[in-house]
Structure 1
Amino acid sequence: MIFDKKILKSYIVPNSETKGSSPILRNPEDIETLEFKELSDLRTIYDVFWKSVREAPNNDFLGYRPFNEETRKFMPYQFISYKDASIIAENFGAGVVQVKLDRLKRSGATEKEIEETQARNWPVGIYSANRPEWQIIDKGLCTQSLYSVALYDTLGKTAYEYIVNHSSTTMIVCTLDKIPKILLSSSRIPNVKTIICIDPFTESNYVTNNDPTLTIPSPFNIKSVNILKSWAKQLDIDLYDFNEIQEIGKQSRIPHFPPKPENIYTLLYTSGTTGNPKGVISTHENYASAAVSTYLSRGFQMDNDDIFLSYLPLPHAYGRTTENYMIVMKGKIGYYSGNVGRIVEDLHALQPTYFAGVPRLLNRFYDVLTAKTINLPGKEGEICRKAVQEKISNLHKGLGVNHKKWDELIFNKTKAMISSKLRQINTGSAPLEPRVCDFLIVSLICKITEGYAMSETSSTGIMQQGVYISNGDTGIPFHGVEVKLIDIPEMNYLVTDLPLARGEVCMRGKNIFGGYLKDPEKTKEALIGDGWIASGDVAQINLDGTISIIDRKKSIFKMAQGVYISPEKIENVLIKHPLILQAFVTGQSVKEYLVGVIVPDPETFIPWAKKLIQSQTHTNTESYSFETLVKNNLVKNTLLADIESICRETGLNGFEIIKNLYLEHKPFDVETNGILTPTMKLKRFDAIRYYAKIIDQLYNENN
């Protein structure tokens, strides 16, 4: 294995290389030990929260935008302090314990059942979009050593029922619109005996930061509430609202019951690409370690004046760890107004200093900002293009992101469209195109870092650190995390490959989960011994000690000629084509070639396709729709030929190039066709089923 010591960014642990495994990589600050040099007293999420409450009680903590019924608009952000949130949280946690005990005593429970409840460490479901109460509930449960089970709709219509039953959840905290759904499915989730509504049951207390068009009843309907209460009573389900639980907790005077590091903090269900969701068991140590590690790995100092916009779903590890990190910072968290279409408006209203997103959203920022700059017609667009080119050139020369002339003329204005205070964007879940990344850095005058992690690693693992420009890597290990690669002989990825070691990414540290709930087989597949987790992702270690994700192990399949195919590797090449938005590549074990389903990018594809047809057939295409253009054979065959050229240029083998394609005008998504996971990964087997007839048709055409 070759490293360039002059530019080495990771620490290579001496004599750690073994047969089939690369040397172990660490953060350069972790040469002597993986123990944290700072904040070592934060061993649980309870510690994380209550330390910030003690040290910054009057700091603004959680904010939302109330909806004004008269103007039909969202108002400016309103915040509550750390101290006020802590009072609500501890009362809520005590109230949850009290109503569970009351229910058990009322129903004639055994002494053992009551003792088990008093011993804590039992689950409570949270079924809500991001809002301040989500965070308060989470921290309230921590005060009583209870753990959250995250419920959400995007896993599928019946997935929440599976999660409730699989996790043995008896109590669900949810928004008003979820109650009818829970009551309707009560016969299929018989363990649920208590529902706590986050929205108050009294009109005078009713406020929401969620889009009223998405709430049932909207925004408040006392008659509907009474119907729900009556319905729940008939089903022998206790129904409370948030304020009632707080008051019960206040009156109960139940003291804090702090968790130990080894106690469960949360049960997150990964969407997965096949089968039922897997319950990731994560402890307080896992997530406290993740929050501190994120703080230590940021690459520049943030402080308690920092502000973060919450929109990443809290049922996901990425969203949870990011918010816990902000609590370590004693910073502000403002919640989005419930609709991703209003994210830019929310950002402008909140003026955050820090934003964590995914490439899909950052691509939207790119579209908005390029429309106002480099894509403008005439002289104005020409000036903007010159400014962007000059700033990107300076950026890659190491001259930083600031440019007095161009910032004053152009980029202070583009930055203000998102947030004038923005200092850093973090992105994960998928690669961000370098051209998009460079443009956003110079137009928003901020740092952008990419990272790689998993739910099973509490959303910490590998991240770009310090001020440098990415060359397509995802960075170096977080503080407290070790990384190595292991051989995947069936894919011909070996740690002995030259010049760069390649193999499956494995990680180790206090952030690594304890296993999958009630699934020893899958736990054994993931936890491979000595504290290591095998990720299922393929990476290479670069000359400078950074790590680049290059492939996915779990999606490989064998073709008729005996070669193994990694469709994700091919898809990652295809989606870099300017005309392609999404790609799905597949094959069959009885066939010797691949086919694909391609979703073109309408912004670039429509004008290109119209121009192509006009130039080749002299047809007026002005009225041609997107749907009409994707069905055109000339368009399809021209794009297929272009794809072949690009695939060969990037070094793909002949058997890795698709020989036929279907152009799809409907994007892959979570809800409509259900072939993406909530983290926007392709559910490959669902896609195969969804496009089964089309795949057969593509093979029949070629035959």
Structure 2
Amino acid sequence: MRFNEDNLKAYVVPNSAVKGSTPVLRNLTNIESLDVLLHPEIKTAYDIFWESAKKIPNEPYLGYRPFDKEKKAFMPYEYLKYGEVAKRVTNLGAGLMHIRLLHCNSKEEKELIERRQWSVAIYSNNRPEWMITEFAIVSQSLYSVGLCDTLGESSMEYIINHSEITVVVGILDKTIKVLRSIKKVPNIRAVVVIESTQDINEKLRASKPLGDSVLSIGDLRKISKDLGVDLYTIDEVEAIGNASGIKDFPPKPDDIYTILYTSGTTGNPKGVVLTHTNYTVSARSYGKRMRKNGVTPVMISYLPLPHGYGRMIELVITLEGGILGYSTGDVSKIFEDCQALQPTFFPGVPRLLTRLYDQFTAATVNAPGIKGIIARKAFSEKLENMKNGKGYFHSIWDNLIFNKTRSFISNRLNLIMSGSAPLSAEVADFLRIALCTEISEAYGSTETSATGTMQIMDDTSIGHVGPPNFGMEIKLRDVPEMNYLVTDEPKPRGEVCIRGKAIFREYLKDKENTENSLIGDGWFATGDIGRMNEDGTISIIDRKKSIFKISQGEYVAPEKIEIILMRHPLVMQAFVHGFSDKSYIIGIIVPDPTTFVPWAANILDTETKLTGNAEKDSGTFESLCKNKNIVAKYLEEISEFSRKSGLVGFEILKKIYLEHIPFDIEGNGLLTPTFKLKRGDAIKAYKEIVENMYASP
């Protein structure tokens, strides 16, 4: 492959190509070294927060919308200033140390606690207290572990035990979940409830989550005490910390900052151990982009903070002295929150951006009559201007059409970053025009501290995720089993490998997966398949491992779902599939004929009795698999089973195809000699069927 020297967006390291690998690419600012030039004095997350807190103590930082109970509506944003947050961070950090020391059983345990570097869980929705708790944990050289519900209750218990958590800080309903599981998480010594005493009492009386006998915080404390766990409110812990005399205990760069759990292909989630160096390098690599044109960044916070993308971007805003406005929690109303906040920066995921695209195109370029004709002309003219480097604004067409679409998010918007899954080209281009703003695709993973590549500023080309970000190196390596080779013409293809100081330390207590992923000399093998383009950008085209993302950024582990489905007596074999630009997953299911045929026949008999219409069906296995009514009832049956088995929404099949020919070793060749599904072959075999399933309404 020859690079286009006239349009090269990356630095190609000389003589770096070896057999089976492409040349190494770097950011254009990293020719001599991988040092990130922005904020070189920042070494830890502690530095990130205190740099801004000391410089701008009277500036707004964490925003929230109070709920007016009389009006039954959320009010305008109110803000905690950097200085206010700093006091709470110091007091809460000291308080967490103090209450943990109250619950040690030996001199040895006390010494371990005082050495720091132990974990505290945060189990909450996005709100100011999340980041207050995060930086409080950091202030004592402890590290956070974010808990979330998408991995399931059993995974919550696994994570608490695996990371040896003894203290949980969370909102009321989440801490109640922990208390209900306390026999399975015996290391928990204390829980800290984020809400105030008044809010806790009101919620307990309104919803009675623990029955009629628990209607106040006093009742809840008694239950907790009986379980061997002390319960505090966050205000109480801050007051304890203020009186304790415990000083900040700043972390070192190589100390653990956080452990993020990512769902594995099968089995339990993996704990990704990330240091302060990892995350500060990542935050610094993005920092320059957030303060566009010298404007203080303002960001809406809605992305889950136990995930890498959401966590990293909040550190970036803090580093840049910006404002974080927390959403009210209803994703369907996220743009109402944006209109109230007026952010300059919106961290997007393809599913949400595609929803915007559908809404805007229906009202503009796809509108009937003269309105659609004018909108299409406006879009075409603005698109040509943008591609010719004339920017995102047009005085006539914006006043006539696009200021309305822009104001749907924010009149101050200057950057949307799309991550977690690929964004389609037509969506990216249309939203750049409709929102009058830069849209930049980025690529990273939990293991890379959410950095890796990012499109360069105001790059309006499509179909790629940019060159290496600041401080990162990229190369591809052969994946012969999938026929992806670095010698492919016209462009090299292979597994994306990333190197830099943002790469994680290890998978917690998992030497095998650590060694499989950290392949030597600092390189992390991502499992993603990329294409290296002539301009030094990377395009993500496939996934080496079976785990994949769907458009909202959630990881789907198909084997996990298949195993659960095959527990159902009506299911013999299952193949689950999906795409990163689709919002749901589908399945190819081979029913068990011994149970399926009588079950299906009974449904047809029942329908005949109810409607008086005898549906013509030969009753054979093949004909029943093709019967639309049977397929619909079958989908209902396995969907309910999936929910009862603990699968969450995005893991439940939305469409199915019932296959009457079983997967086998010799006939269709879809099984290995050990009867495992050959996923790559199944994808090829059912390509047309899968495409038709997604194309159908």
Place the TM-score, normalised by the shorter chain, in its bin. Answer: 0.7 to 0.9
Amino acid in structure 1 at the alignment position of 2:462: N
Amino acid in structure 2 at the alignment position of 1:165: N
Contact 1:303 1:330 in 2 (8 A): no
Amino acid in structure 1 at the alignment position of 2:230: D
Which stretch shifts more, 226-235 or 241-250? 226-235
Cα deviation, residue 586, structure 1: 6.2
Amino acid in structure 2 at the alignment position of 1:503: G
Tell whether 2:233 aligns with 1:269: no
**RMSD (Å), alpha carbons:** 3.6
2:491 is paired with a residue whose SS is coil
What are the Cα deviations for residues 626-656 of structure 1, in whole angstroms up to 9, with x where unaligned?
xxxxx998999xxxxxxxxxxxxxxxxxxxx
d(CA) in 2 for partners of 1:587, 1:324: 44
Tell whether 2:140 aligns with 1:140: no
Match of 1:165 among 154, 161, 168: 161
2:184 is paired with a residue whose SS is coil
Cα deviation, residue 584, structure 1: 4.0
Match of 1:428 among 397, 408, 419: 419
d(CA) in 1 for partners of 2:162, 2:302: 27
Cα deviation, residue 59, structure 1: 1.2
Cα deviation, residue 30, structure 1: 0.7
Contact 1:398 1:468 in 2 (8 A): no
What percentage of aligned pairs have identical amino acids?
Answer: 45
2:117 alignment counterpart = 121
Amino acid in structure 2 at the alignment position of 1:421: R
1:541-552 alignment, distance < 5 Å: 541-552=532-543
The alpha-carbon distance between structure 1 residues 550 and 378, as it changes in their structure 2 partners (threshold 3 A), is same
Tell whether 2:347 aligns with 1:386: no
Match of 1:340 among 328, 331, 341: 331
1:57-72 alignment, distance < 5 Å: 57-72=57-72
2:236 alignment counterpart = 244
Contact 2:38 2:287 in 1 (8 A): no
Contact 2:625 2:659 in 1 (8 A): no
Cα deviation, residue 248, structure 1: 0.2
2:46 alignment counterpart = 46
2:311 is paired with a residue whose SS is helix
Tell whether 2:474 aligns with 1:510: no
1:534 is paired with a residue whose SS is strand
Amino acid in structure 2 at the alignment position of 1:140: A
d(CA) in 2 for partners of 1:424, 1:525: 37
> What TM-score comes out, normalization by structure 1 length?
0.80
The alpha-carbon distance between structure 1 residues 301 and 526, as it changes in their structure 2 partners (threshold 3 A), is same
d(CA) in 2 for partners of 1:222, 1:213: 8
Match of 1:408 among 393, 399, 403: 399
2:152 alignment counterpart = 156
1:386 is paired with a residue whose SS is helix
Cα deviation, residue 356, structure 1: 0.3
1:28 is paired with a residue whose SS is coil
Cα deviation, residue 582, structure 1: 4.3
The alpha-carbon distance between structure 1 residues 273 and 125, as it changes in their structure 2 partners (threshold 3 A), is same
Contact 2:11 2:27 in 1 (8 A): yes
1:187 is paired with a residue whose SS is helix
1:320 alignment counterpart = 311
Tell whether 2:367 aligns with 1:376: yes
2:43 is paired with a residue whose SS is coil
d(CA) in 2 for partners of 1:677, 1:23: 41
2:102 is paired with a residue whose SS is helix
d(CA) in 2 for partners of 1:233, 1:583: 44
Contact 1:662 1:698 in 2 (8 A): no
1:620 alignment counterpart = none
The alpha-carbon distance between structure 1 residues 253 and 300, as it changes in their structure 2 partners (threshold 3 A), is closer
Which stretch shifts more, 384-393 or 94-103? 384-393
2:34 is paired with a residue whose SS is coil
Amino acid in structure 2 at the alignment position of 1:173: V
What are the Cα deviations for residues 557-603 of structure 1, in whole angstroms up to 9, with x where unaligned?
9xxxxxxxxx99x955xx87xxx864547699xxxxxxxxxxxxxxx
The alpha-carbon distance between structure 1 residues 581 and 113, as it changes in their structure 2 partners (threshold 3 A), is closer
What are the Cα deviations for residues 273-296 of structure 1, in whole angstroms up to 9, with x where unaligned?
322100000011111111101114
Match of 1:112 among 108, 114, 133: 108
Tell whether 2:196 aligns with 1:200: yes
d(CA) in 2 for partners of 1:246, 1:176: 17
1:504 is paired with a residue whose SS is strand
d(CA) in 2 for partners of 1:314, 1:667: 32
d(CA) in 1 for partners of 2:99, 2:500: 38
Match of 1:520 among 511, 530, 534: 511
> What TM-score comes out, normalization by structure 2 length?
0.80
2:29 is paired with a residue whose SS is helix
Match of 2:455 among 454, 464, 489: 464
d(CA) in 2 for partners of 1:174, 1:318: 21
1:630-645 alignment, distance < 5 Å: none
1:153 is paired with a residue whose SS is coil
Tell whether 2:476 aligns with 1:485: yes
Contact 2:291 2:320 in 1 (8 A): no
The alpha-carbon distance between structure 1 residues 581 and 256, as it changes in their structure 2 partners (threshold 3 A), is closer
1:657 alignment counterpart = none
The alpha-carbon distance between structure 1 residues 85 and 162, as it changes in their structure 2 partners (threshold 3 A), is same
The alpha-carbon distance between structure 1 residues 699 and 276, as it changes in their structure 2 partners (threshold 3 A), is closer
Point out where structure 1 has 5 or more consecutive residues left out of the alignment: 558-566, 589-630, 637-659
1:306 alignment counterpart = 297
d(CA) in 2 for partners of 1:534, 1:350: 39
The alpha-carbon distance between structure 1 residues 19 and 214, as it changes in their structure 2 partners (threshold 3 A), is farther
d(CA) in 2 for partners of 1:664, 1:698: 19
Cα deviation, residue 313, structure 1: 0.3
1:26 alignment counterpart = 26
Tell whether 2:226 aligns with 1:234: yes
1:155 is paired with a residue whose SS is coil
The alpha-carbon distance between structure 1 residues 139 and 587, as it changes in their structure 2 partners (threshold 3 A), is same
1:477 is paired with a residue whose SS is coil
The alpha-carbon distance between structure 1 residues 696 and 74, as it changes in their structure 2 partners (threshold 3 A), is farther
2:75 alignment counterpart = 75
Amino acid in structure 2 at the alignment position of 1:123: S
Contact 1:9 1:544 in 2 (8 A): yes
Amino acid in structure 2 at the alignment position of 1:9: K
d(CA) in 1 for partners of 2:648, 2:260: 14
Cα deviation, residue 663, structure 1: 12
Amino acid in structure 2 at the alignment position of 1:400: G
Amino acid in structure 2 at the alignment position of 1:45: A
The alpha-carbon distance between structure 1 residues 467 and 675, as it changes in their structure 2 partners (threshold 3 A), is farther
Contact 2:3 2:536 in 1 (8 A): yes
Amino acid in structure 2 at the alignment position of 1:525: N
The alpha-carbon distance between structure 1 residues 24 and 85, as it changes in their structure 2 partners (threshold 3 A), is same
Match of 2:658 among 667, 691, 694: 694
Contact 2:589 2:656 in 1 (8 A): no
Contact 2:518 2:525 in 1 (8 A): yes
The alpha-carbon distance between structure 1 residues 677 and 392, as it changes in their structure 2 partners (threshold 3 A), is farther
Contact 1:52 1:328 in 2 (8 A): yes
Tell whether 2:18 aligns with 1:55: no
The alpha-carbon distance between structure 1 residues 632 and 359, as it changes in their structure 2 partners (threshold 3 A), is farther
1:646 alignment counterpart = none
d(CA) in 2 for partners of 1:294, 1:505: 20
Cα deviation, residue 400, structure 1: 2.0
d(CA) in 1 for partners of 2:208, 2:509: 35
2:76 is paired with a residue whose SS is coil
Contact 1:67 1:207 in 2 (8 A): no
